[in-house]
């Protein structure tokens, strides 16, 4: 039962879904950047992010699995992650390029830039250890909120608490499934948090 719950948690809070979750939260923070935007516009931006960072990469992963380029969609081995990570980096960067066209999306585009950087960093670290991409993505989400709060003076404590709590839940699930060691989970969260926080704080 514990293993099944961990698999469900890993799926619901999959790294490819994190950009969509993050953009949904950022768009509804009490700041003038987003308060002036109509709800329909916000919905379209969220839809775009979900399609370009989750639906399209996931479809390509299924195709790669069908042609035996991937042994498993869970990508247990480090070498299996190289092509999928490269694919994700392309889609993340494309999303960044699209949404940065509108000045109202500057914060969102900054997040997507950070997300792209994290994918590339994971690709590099992957050659040395099987870093937890789940933990990296949720650490990046938390880091973006922390950096945003420090830069703009917006209180995000409730959201930050929830995201860190979810990061802990996801990390625990990955450990229960024996997908990663504790050090790989901590490394992922730390890399994600620090990268996004510094990006939001200094840019």
pLDDT digits (tens, 9 = 90+) for 86-103: 999 999 999 999 999 988
What pLDDT is recorded for position 132?
96
pTM of this structure: 0.94
What pLDDT is recorded for position 128?
93
What pLDDT is recorded for position 136?
98
Task: Quote the CA–CA distance of 6 and 176 in Å, as a whole number.
Answer: 7
Q: 154, 30 in Cβ contact below 8 A?
A: yes
pLDDT digits (tens, 9 = 90+) for 139-195: 999 999 999 999 888 889 999 999 999 999 999 999 999 999 999 999 999 999 999
Contacts of 56 by beta carbon, 8 Å cutoff, 6+ apart: 91
Q: At residue 203, does pLDDT exceed 80?
A: no
Q: 129, 187 in Cβ contact below 8 A?
A: yes
């Amino acid at each position: 039962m514990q293993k099944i719950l961990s698999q469900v948690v890993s799926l619901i809070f999959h790294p490819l879904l994190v950009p969509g979750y993050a953009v949904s939260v950022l768009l509804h923070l009490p700041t003038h950047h987003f308060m002036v935007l109509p709800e329909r516009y916000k919905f379209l931006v969220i839809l775009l992010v979900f399609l370009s960072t989750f639906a399209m990469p996931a479809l390509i992963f299924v195709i790669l699995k069908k042609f035996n380029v991937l042994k498993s969609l869970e990508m247990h081995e480090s070498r299996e992650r190289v092509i999928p990570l490269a694919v994700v980096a392309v889609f993340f960067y494309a999303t960044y390029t699209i949404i940065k066209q509108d000045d109202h999306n500057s914060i969102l585009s900054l997040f997507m830039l950070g997300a792209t950087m994290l994918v590339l960093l994971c690709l590099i670290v992957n050659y040395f250890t099987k870093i937890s991409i789940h933990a990296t993505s949720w650490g990046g989400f938390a880091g973006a909120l922390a950096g945003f709060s420090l830069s703009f003076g917006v209180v995000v404590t409730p959201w930050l608490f929830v995201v860190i709590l979810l990061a802990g839940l996801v990390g625990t699930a990955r450990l229960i499934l024996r997908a990663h060691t504790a050090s790989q989970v901590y490394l992922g969260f730390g890399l994600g948090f620090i990268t996004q926080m510094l990006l939001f704080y200094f840019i």
